[in-house]
Structure formats: structure tokens, C-alpha cells
Structure 1
Amino acid sequence: MRENLLFHWNRIREKLWVKPLLVSLLSVAFAFLATLADQTNASVWVPDVSTDSIETLLNLVTSSMLVIAMFAVGAMVTAYASASNSATPRAFSVVLADDTSQNALSVFIGVFIYGAVSLVALQNDLYEHAGRFALFVVSVLVFALVILTFIRWMDSIARLGRMGNTIDKVEVAVAASFVSRLKQPYLGGKPGSNSTTLQGVPLVLSKVGYLQRVDMPSLQACAEKFDIEIEMVVLPGKFCTPANPVAFIQGSPQQQIDCLAELAAAFYLADQRTYDQDPRFGLIVLCEIASRALSPAVNDPGTAIDVIGTATRLFHQWASGDNSPDDTVVYDRISVPSIREVDMFDDAFNGLARDAAGTVEVSIRLQKAFVAMAGFGNPAIRSACLEHSRRALARNELAMTLPEDIEAVRRASLCK
């Protein structure tokens, strides 16, 4: 249940209209809650606030908030476009989920609605003595909230959409995905056999798309209901088609057939990949950012070097967490294949090494990163570092024309 809620909450966070709608509803509620003060004895001791002073404050709030909200939307759209164009369109979702910008836009729209509703209610004598004072206090607090929010948002929007900020947000998303996968290396199931000759009835999906997530609790419940075993052959991030099975069902023949439709509903397919259960997707996004920075049109090797440093930190996190995984089997009827470090290295460095083959400073930094990651104490990561160091050096030898550059890269590599 927690995993389902977290997955849907992350999808909701990517919708720009959700928070403004919620804050708008709350603003209307606050405008009418001020009338509750008239049902108490507060009118005996609170000062009498004139209607004109409250109207002046509400008019100021209402007239300015709509303009600020429109300005906020324009600035956010510009930042989102900058993130997609300068980094990669695959980074758009993490930039769109920026809480500071969404909160600021929500406050601006909510305060505008609050001011309009409160002004209409005030002009129609909805508030009495205590209610006017309560409305005045709330309006002053709302005005202060707007000022603080605007100052904080201006500091954030100056960075939103910038390359460094986008890389940082992708790193945070990948790190969170790493933590989740390291906690449950097999998504809570049993280790898969990784065999190419699996027995049982193949489970195929009728749709085509990327596997965003697997509803493990539903699979376990279905397996217990039909008394079957499930051997998954794909992980989230896989591009699935009806021609390729996602799992094999083992049990009595009739039970295998009866449960197929129910099992298929636990596999969520969509047009795009997400970061939640797919650690490799973030590595692909980082590689795309570096490749675009190395294109002749951009020619920004510094960004590629920044991405290499980011990938090194992430693999250090993976190597450190991989030493003590949680081997608790929550779903004992489901076998899940492991994620391979060599595949993660392919995602993170293949495109980068190809596009940096002729750039000596990036190639040297890449080789130094391989040397550093080889010392993390993870045998699989060390093996991947040796292979990718060899490949990158072979590309350098083909792309570079100056022998001194090739020798400098060779000295920095693991292939000395």
C-alpha cells in the first residue's frame, strides 16, 4: 500500500495544477472561517477594524496577485523549456516537480482567490465586529506569506532550469531510487535464477510501453490465491511488447491459465520511464546531459566533467549500500532478477565515452573516475570499470590525432 501511494504521489507531484487547486480550496475555506469569530465573545475585547481598511488591503492583494501569478507561470515555463533544451527532455519531470516553484505558484493563485472571495463577502456584510478583526489579521498574515514566498521563490527561480541545478535534481532522484533498490535488491521478492531457459507459462502483456513499476503486493496476493510461483524476467525500465514475456508462471496447468489476466494488471506500462523503481533511467539521463554538452553546437566539456563527478558519487553510494542489503523476503512466491552493475555502467558511460573520445580533458577525467570507482571495494563495479576503461581508451586512440594526448589518457587509465 505504501509503495502504491508513493508511486501515485510522485505522479501527482508532476502535475502543475494539483497544488494550486488544493491551496485555492483552502483559501476559500479561510475566507469563510473568519465568520466563526462572530459566534464567540471576542467582540468584547477585540478592536473595531473599519471595513475600508480591510477593503484597501484586500484590493491590494487581489490586484497584485494575479499579475504575480502570471509572471510566475511565465518564469516557470521559461525555466522548464531551458531545462529541456539545454539538458535533456528526460530531465523535465524532475524539474517540473520542483516544490519551491509549485508552492509559490499555489500561494499566489490561492491568495488571489482568497482576496476576491473575502472582498465580496465583506461588501455583502457577511462579517460583524469580531469577524472583521479576524479577517484583518488573516489578511495581514497572508500578505506577509506572499512577501516571504516571493523572496524565496525569486532565489529558487534564478537557479531553476540552469544546467547545474538540473544535474543536482537528477542526482537526487537517482540517489533516492538507489536507496530504494539497495533496501530491497529484488523488490522484496526472492533472487531470480537469471536463466535463459525458464519453465512455466509465459505471461505477456497486450500493450507496448516501458514498464514503470511492478505492483509486488498484488502479484503476491494473486500467487497465494492461485497457489503458483512467479519468475519475473524483466525489471522496471524494460520496453515490453506482446512478443516478449515479462514473467513465467509455475504451478498446476489450469491455475496458470486462470491467473494470467489478474497478474498482467500488476505490471504498469506507460510511454515514458520514471525514476521510482528504475535506477538505470537516471543514469541514462545524466549520460544524455553529458553527450549534449559535448556536441559541437554546445561544446561545454565542463558540464560533462560535472556529470562524471555526479556518476562517481552515485556509484559510491551504490557500492557502499550494496555491502549490507536487506535480504528479507516479503514476497516469497515471486522471483526477481538482479540489476547488473555492468548494465548500469553501460547506461552511464557508453554515450559519454563515445562523444568524449576526442576531448582530452574529459577523457582523462573519465579514466580517473574509473580508477576511483575501481577502488570502491565492489568486485562487479571494479570489473565494469576495467572493461569501460579499456573501451574508452580504444575510442581515444581512434579519435585523437596527437600522440601526447593519447599517452596522457593512457597514463590516467586502468590499462597502464
Structure 2
Amino acid sequence: MLGNIYEDRVKFLLSRFRERLWVKPLAVCLLSIVAVFFAKFADDTKLIDIVPSITSEAIETLLSIMASSMLVIATLSVASMVSAYASASRTATPRSFALVISDDASQNALSTFVGAFIFSIVALTAVKNNYFQNAGIFILFVLTVIVFAAVLFMFVRWVDRIARLGRITSTIDKVESASAKAFSIRKMAPTLCGVSVKSGKKGKAIYARTIGYVQHINIEAINTWAANAELRVVVAALPGTFTAPDKPIAYLYSEEGEAEEDNVDCVIESFQIGGDRIFDNDPRFGLIVLSEIASRALSPAVNDPGTAIDVIGTLLRLFSQWNEPVDSNKVKDNCYKNVEVPEILIEDMFDDAFTPIARDGAGLVEVSIRLQKALGSLASLKDSNGHESHSTQMKESAEYYSRLALKRSKLAMDIEEDFLAVEKAAKFNSAD
């Protein structure tokens, strides 16, 4: 049982390697070393009598140029990336740092530059020591030309990307992309492949041994343990929930009565808890990060309402995606019958997304009007069956937060005409 938990945890940790800046460069460095010694095998084949002769001096010159230039370019790329990361944390929010650092184009560029440097150093050392014969020299020359072409292509692509990396619009796009992915995953498994919470029973409370955020839950391991113990587990802490000594992460109960199981280590170990929230399994985190970006843009020090308006449009797209119908054949819920998992509440998502913007932008007429229009659009969304969603949670939440934002604007705005414009935009709300 614990073996399955540790295997799942290893897979989870490996998936987090994408955010580590050293992983790709290390892999490319190892590959470049293998490529150099791969050329040696050509000396033991018939290619030695076929390929044209290339002087070692010619390839030494090319490798020397590459070795000296790649180190400079790699250093320059690191400095540029660090500057972009600092800019992203300063202009957007520190919570977006993980997404910026995981930018594939920047990591691929750094990996290519460092790998080309290692390749040229190892190849140059081998050539100067007469390690290769005629065929090996030719293959090494071909590899050098390929590496040189890859460096040129990657450098041009990297210059275009680094000009955008760390910019506020690029950061918003990255957060939107990560949030949309998390939304899509959760829509396919609203209860994380468990079953919906059916009963009001809570039973025996289980507490985590670590203080932090729930990052991942191994529902399969919990279900297997619960089935063997003839118990039911109710998950109380979804990914993104902050765990504390007084906050249960799950409850145990039996169909016959109170649960008597004492050894709950399997359940506790199935909760991966860390110091930070992550985007993968936590759709609400993306909404929080976007609202933080908007709040910073609305601060007096920044005074950038255009960014807040851009974020409101992004939130509208994400909630529209959340409301889209899902193919019932692709839904993965009800796989694990012994684990009950609550679904994410739409009102909590609205609170994460719109409360900070409504609070910090209450006195700005352009932000308040755009917020009211976005909430009006969400209130008018059709449900999965194509009908107007007059009584859905989406409509109710949109109307509630529209009224709340209107109250904030009334208190914050000094000019009556500004408030009347906001009030006009909020006319969709049936309560007004």
C-alpha cells in the first residue's frame, strides 16, 4: 500500500522538475558528450574509406570559436532570464514566478547554449589528442555544423522570446494557460475520480502532520485502503487547501457506525503537502494569481487600470470555459467508490477572482464598468443543455458579486455621473 503511495509521490515530484532550471541543461550536456564519442564509432566502419578528408586544424578552429562564444552567450542568456524573472515578480506577482521560470523557449535556449559549449570543449579536447581518425573527424564536423545551425536558430528564437518574457501581458497569458489546463482537468474529474459527498456524516477526523498547502491527493491509494478496511473516506481538504493542526484533511466513517480504525498513516501519506500552492491540480489558484496581478496594477504605485481590465477579460474566458458542457464519456468520476470528494463551489471561485478587483477598482469608473459587463456576461451564460441558466450557481454568483461591487463603487466614487455609468452597466442584475 505504502509502495503505491511513494510511487505516486515520486511521479508527482518528477512532474515538478519542469520548474527546475538545471534539468534541461544537464540533459543536453550529457547528450552533447555522448554525441562527441558517438563520432568515434565511425572509425571502425567502412566510412573511413568513403568520407572526404577534413583536416583537424579546420575543425579545431570552428570548435574554438564555438567554445569561446557559447560561454559568453550562455552567460548573457542567464542574466537576461534572471532579469525577466525579477521583472515578472515585480510587475505581476511572485506567485507567477513558477510559470515564468518554466518557459520552454528560455529553457531550451539555455540548454542549447550550454550544451554547445560542452560539446565544443569535449570535442576540441578529443581532436587535439588525436582521438579520431578520418571518419570520426568527418562525423564530428557534421555534428559541429548541426550544433552550430541549432545554436543560430535557437538564438534568433530566444531573442524574440526574451523580449516578451517577464512582461505583464506574457505573464497573464501564462497564468491563463495554466489555469485553463487546470480547469479542463478538474472538469473531467470534478470529484478527483471519487464520488460526490452523499451523506452528512463526518465521522473520525484525520489531521495532517505537516503544515502547508495540499498539492496532490492519491485518491486511488485512499480508496484501496478504505475498501480493505471496509470504511468510507470523506476528503475535507482539496488541493490548494491550507492544512493546520486544527484543520482535518479527511474523515472516516463506516456504514454501520463510527469508524474504529486507528492506523490511518496511508490516508495521511496520500496527501502531498508543500509550502506553496501549484497550478496543476488547483483551479482556484490561477484565479487568485490573476486577481493579484489586477490588484497590483490598481495600486496607487502602479496605477495601470488597463492591466486590470485585461485580467477581467481573462477571467471571463476562464469562467466561460468552466461553464462549457463536458462529454459525459470523458468524465472520470465515480471510479473510486469508497472515497467521497466535494466539488469546487462556483461562489468560492467568484470570490477568489472578483473580490480583490471590485475592492481595489471600486473608485475607477472604467474598471468598475468592465467588471459589471463581465459579470453580466457570466450571468447570461447558457448551461450545458443550451438553455438560459436562470437558476444556476453561475448566474446567482454573478448577480451577488455584481451587487457587492456596485456597493463598493457607490462608497468609493465621488462623482455621481461615474456611479450612474457603473449602475447602468449593472442593470442586468434583477435585484437592481
Smaller-chain TM-score bracket:
over 0.9
1:405 counterpart = 2:405: no
CA positional deviation for 1:376: 1.2
- More displaced, 278-287 or 37-46? 37-46
**Does the 8 Å CA contact 1:65/1:112 hold for their aligned counterparts?**
yes
Q: 1:302 to 1:254 in 2, by over 3 A?
A: closer
Counterpart for residue 228 of structure 2: 225
Counterpart for residue 383 of structure 1: 396
**Does the 8 Å CA contact 2:203/2:258 hold for their aligned counterparts?**
no
CA positional deviation for 1:43: 1.4
**Does the 8 Å CA contact 1:20/1:106 hold for their aligned counterparts?**
yes
Counterpart for residue 275 of structure 2: 271
Residue type of the alignment partner of 1:331:
Y
RMSD (Å) for aligned C-alpha atoms = 1.8
Counterpart for residue 236 of structure 1: 239
Unaligned runs of at least 5 residues, structure 2? 384-391
**Does the 8 Å CA contact 1:170/1:286 hold for their aligned counterparts?**
yes
2: CA distance between counterparts of 1:8 and 1:319? 31
1: CA distance between counterparts of 2:22 and 2:212? 26
Unaligned runs of at least 5 residues, structure 1? none
- More displaced, 17-26 or 5-14? 5-14
1: CA distance between counterparts of 2:250 and 2:57? 70
Name the SS of the counterpart of 2:324 in structure 1: helix
Q: 1:336 to 1:66 in 2, by over 3 A?
A: same
Alignment of 1:238-317 (within 5 A): 238-251=241-254, 256-317=260-321
Q: 1:134 to 1:44 in 2, by over 3 A?
A: same
Q: For 1:117-140, what per-residue CA distance to the aligned partner results, in whole angstroms no more than 9, with x for missing partners?
A: 011111111100100000000001
Residue type of the alignment partner of 1:257:
E
Residue type of the alignment partner of 1:227:
E
**Does the 8 Å CA contact 1:61/1:115 hold for their aligned counterparts?**
yes
Counterpart for residue 392 of structure 1: 405
1: CA distance between counterparts of 2:280 and 2:296? 24
1: CA distance between counterparts of 2:198 and 2:169? 41
Name the SS of the counterpart of 1:190 in structure 2: coil
- More displaced, 223-232 or 107-116? 223-232
CA positional deviation for 1:217: 1.8
Alignment of 1:140-155 (within 5 A): 140-155=145-160
Q: 1:119 to 1:156 in 2, by over 3 A?
A: same
Q: 1:5 to 1:366 in 2, by over 3 A?
A: farther
CA positional deviation for 1:322: 5.6
Q: 1:6 to 1:283 in 2, by over 3 A?
A: farther
Q: 1:38 to 1:358 in 2, by over 3 A?
A: same
Residue type of the alignment partner of 1:387:
Y
Q: 1:267 to 1:394 in 2, by over 3 A?
A: same
Q: Normalising by the residue count of structure 2, what TM-score does the alignment of the two structures yield?
A: 0.92
Match of 1:35 among 37, 40, 65: 40
CA positional deviation for 1:194: 7.5
**Does the 8 Å CA contact 2:42/2:139 hold for their aligned counterparts?**
yes
What is the count of residue pairs matched by the alignment?
A: 414
CA positional deviation for 1:161: 0.2
Name the SS of the counterpart of 2:261 in structure 1: helix
1: CA distance between counterparts of 2:137 and 2:266? 58
Residue type of the alignment partner of 1:357:
A
CA positional deviation for 1:6: 6.4
**Does the 8 Å CA contact 1:234/1:337 hold for their aligned counterparts?**
no
1:349 counterpart = 2:362: no
